[in-house]
Structure 1
Amino acid sequence: MAGEGGSSSTAATSVTMSRIEAVQTVMPAKSVTKEDSGWLVAGWIRESLGRALVEQPLLGGRLRRVGDSEGEFEIVSNDSGVRLMEARTSMALSEFLELKDWEAVEADQLVFWKDIDGQNPQFYPLFYVQVTNFERGGYSIGISCSLLLADPLGMASFLKRWASIHNTLVSENDKSKLPIFYLLSLRRLNDTPSIHMISSNTSRSRARAKIFNMAENMNSDEKICRTVASVCNEEAECHLGTKMASKYWLFLKKLSEDIKIEACSKEEIMPLSISGLSELRWDV
C-alpha cells in the first residue's frame, strides 16, 4: 500500500512537505515463532539500512537554511541518519486487514512523520522507518520520505537495492543468530513501547488510485494507457474543483520492461469507449 501525504508550505514555526509513504504488512506463520517477530526484523533492518545508506548518503541528511533565518532550504549530507521507530499495537493483523477505514489507521499508526521545525530544521530527519508488531504475530514496515530527497521512482530504486542488501545479510547469518540491535535482548517484553507513544503529529492528504476492469485478452497498449490517464485527470479535476495543467507526464510500466515516461496533453483526451475496458471505482 503506498501513497503521497502532506503538502508544501512554510510557517514561522514548522515546515510541512510532500512525502512518499508506503506500508508493507507481513502475516505470521500458523505457529508464531521468534522469526515472525517484527522486533527481530527491526534489528536486521538497522544493519541492512546502514549498509544501504552508504550508497545513498543523502537520504540520511538534513535540511539547512541558506543564509539568514528567512533563506531557502538546502539538503546537507551530514550523516545524521534515518530515524527507525519500533512499536506495537493491541490490534491483530487480521483485524487491521478487515477494517473498512484501514487507510486512517495506516496513516495515524503505521507510518510515522514529524513536521520539521523551521527554526531548527537540522534536528529533524527526512526519512522515517517504522516497524509495528501486531497482537498474536505479524508486523508491518512503514516508510515515509520527503520528496526533497527522492521522487517515487528514485525511492523505488533505493528500496529495491535495500531489500537486496537485507536479504543477503539475513541469508548469510545463521537463523539462530540474533542481530546486534535486537531490543528484546536488552529489556523485558512488557517494557516495549505502545503505538500511541509515537503517533505522528501532522495532517495528511493522501493520493488515491483509480481502478479499472480490463478484459483478459486486452493488450495494454499506449492508447489504452492514455485513455485511462485522461479519465483519471478529468475526475481529479471534478473531485478537487480545480483545473490541472494542460500537459502532464505519463509513467508506463509493463511486466519485464523498463519504465517509460511520455509527455501527454489534455487536448489528447479520448472517451472511455474501448471494448473490454470499463471504469470501476476509486480505491476509497
Structure 2
Amino acid sequence: MAFGSRAAGKHRGSSRLSRKTAGYAGVAALATTGVVGTLAAPAFAATDKGPSMEDTGLNAVVTAEDVAGQVEAQADAQRAAAEAAALKAQAEADAKARAAEARQKAEEKAKAEREAAERAAREEERKRLNTFVSPLAGSYVSTQYRAGGGMWSSGSHTGIDFHANEGSVVRAVGVGTVVEAGWGGAYGNNVVIRHADGTYTQYGHLNSLSVSVGQQVTPGQQIGLSGSTGNSSGPHLHFEARTGANYGSDIDPIAYLRSHGVSL
C-alpha cells in the first residue's frame, strides 16, 4: 500500500476546527459501536457550535467584580458626602454657638455699662444732695455773726447778713424739708428748713417766697427772692444756722457752711 508523503517542516498543533472535527468523528465512531446511546445525540447536537464565552462563566465573574467596584465606589461617595454634611453641620453649630456667645457677652457688657451708669448717677445724686451751697450766688457777708448793736433785740446779731439787691434769688443751702414759710415778725417774710443732719437754716427779710411748709428742697433750689421786709434797714439776706427750730439755738453760720464745704 502506498502512502502520501508529508511536507517537511515544523509540527503545528491542530487547529480548533480540526480538534472540533476530530471530536465529532470520535463521537460518531462511538455511536456506531453502540457505546453512546441515542440519548447522547441531542447533547452533542446542542453543542454543535462549540462552547461560547457565556458558557464558561467568565463574563459572570467580570460583571460581579464590576458591580462590586461600583457599589464600593458608591459607598465611598456616600461616606464622603455624609462626612462633608457632618462637617458643615458642625461648622454651622460652631458659628451659632459663637454668635450666641458674642450676643451674651454684648448683653452682659451693656448690662454692666447700664449698672455702672446707674451707680454713677446715684452717686452723683447722693453727692448733690449732700452738697451745701451758699444761699446767695456771688455774694459776700456784709455783717458778721455776733456783731453788737441796738438793732437786734438780743443785743447781738444771731446770724450773718449777705449783701443782696432787691429780688436776688435766695437758695436752700442743702437738702431738707420746709418747716416754716411766711411772716416771721422781725424777720419779715422768712423760710426755715430742717436738714437731714438735724440742723436748721433760716432765711429772713425776703421779698417773696417760692416754697411752702412740708415741701422737700434740694441744694441750690430757689426758695424766695431777697428784700427788706421786717426789721431791716435795706435789702439784704439774713441767714441763720441753728441746732433747733426755735430762736436762741443759733450757731456760727460761717463755720456751719464751711463745715459743709461752702467757701466764704
| TM-score bracket, shorter-length normalisation | under 0.3
The answer to which structure has the higher strand fraction is 1
The answer to which structure has the higher helix fraction is 2
User: Which one has a bigger Cα radius of gyration?
Assistant: 2
TM-score, length basis structure 1: 0.19
Greater RCO, CA 8 A, separation 6+:
1
